[in-house]
Chain A
Amino acid sequence: MKGLSGFTMFCYTLVIIAIGLCLAAICFDFLPRSYVDYTMDYLYTPSDARMLIGGGGAALVLVSLLLFQFSSGRMRRERTIAFENPDGQVTVSLAAIEEFIRRIAIELPEVKELKPLVSASKRGVEIITRVTLVSNANLPETTEKIQGIIKAHIQEMLGIEETISVKVHINKISYKDKEKREKPQPVKQEEEKPVFRGIEYGTE
C-alpha cells in the first residue's frame, strides 16, 4: 500500500512538472506556435494518438482519485494512545484528551482560550498548548499553573509513567476581557425582611 501511494505521488508530481514546463515553454516562446498547431492537428485527427490521449486522461483521473483516497485516509486515521492488557487492547482517543485539557484549562480565570495538540510517542506524551490569556495575568505564574494542572490531570487520568511534557505558547493577550472582569458588579442590597413581632393589640 505504501509503495502504491508512493508511485501515485511520483506519477502525479511528474504530470504536474510536465504541465508546468509546457506552460513555461509557451510563456518564454521556447515552443513555437507552429509546433503547437501541428501537435493539436495531429491529436484531433482520427488516429492511435487519440486513443493514447484518452488513455492518458483516464489514467490521470485514476491517479487523482487514488491520491485523494490516500490523503483522506491518512486524515481519517484516528490518533490514539494504546495500552495492552491481558484481556485486550485499550486505546484512548487523543482528541478526547485534547478536549479534556481544553475544558480543565479554561476554568482558570487567567485563561481565556486554550488550544491543545497532543502527540504520543515512545518517549512519552507531548502536549503543545496555544493560549490566550487575560491581560492582568502574571505570565510566568499562569504558564506554570497551566503546565502543572495539565500534567497532574493527565498523569492521574492515564496513569502513565512516561514523561509528559507540556509546552505553553502564549498566542494572544485579551484586553477586552480584562475590562469585563474588572467592571464592578452591582452589589445586591439585601432586602429588609419583615420581622415577626408577634401579634400586637392596640390599647385604648
Chain B
Amino acid sequence: MKEVTNTELGTFEINEDVMASIAIQAAKETEGVYSVGDDIKSKLKGLFGGRGFKPGIKLVSESDGSLKIDLSIIVDFGVAIPSVATEVQENVRRRVEEAVRVAPAQVNVRVRGIHINTNRGGF
C-alpha cells in the first residue's frame, strides 16, 4: 500500500513501511507503553513475514480510501489500560496525520501483554 499525492511538480509516494514506522514510534513514545509488537505471536510472524515486515502493526487501506491501523502493544505494570490505549490512539492518529496528511479512520489497539518488572518489590 502506498499513499500517492499529486503536486504541481509531480507525484510523491509514501510507502506503507514509513507510515508503520511513524505509528510504531508514536505508540512507543506514549507513557505506559512498554513495547510494540514484542509478543511471541508478532515475533513469530516477523520471522516469516519477509523483508520490511513490521511486527505488531497492520495497515489496511479500506475500499473507500480510508486508512485503518491495527497495533499490538505491551503495557507497563500498574497503568490504567483504557487511558493508555486512548492516548496511543490519539498519538498515532496525530503523528500519522502530521507526517503524511492522511488521518487514519480507525486506530485499533490490541493489548497483548503486561510487562512486569521482576525486580519490583512486593506489596
Contacts and interface: CB of A to CB of B under 8 A. Distances in A.
Do A and B pair up? The answer is yes
Interface of A: 80, 83, 85, 87-93, 96-97, 99-100, 103, 107-108, 149, 156-159
A172 B77 CA distance: 28
Interface residues of B, number: 27
Contact of B112 (A89, A96, A156, A158): A96
Give the secondary structure class of A's interface. Answer: mixed
Given A90-B89, A156-B78, 10 more contacts: A83-B85, A89-B106, A91-B108, A92-B81, A92-B110, A93-B110, A93-B113, A96-B111, A157-B80, A157-B81
Contact of A88 (B80, B89, B114, B123): B89
Interface string B61-98: 00000001100001001111111011001100100000
B18 interface: no
Contact of B123 (A80, A83, A99, A149): A149
A164 to B, nearest CB: 14
A89 B82 contact: no
B22 interface: no
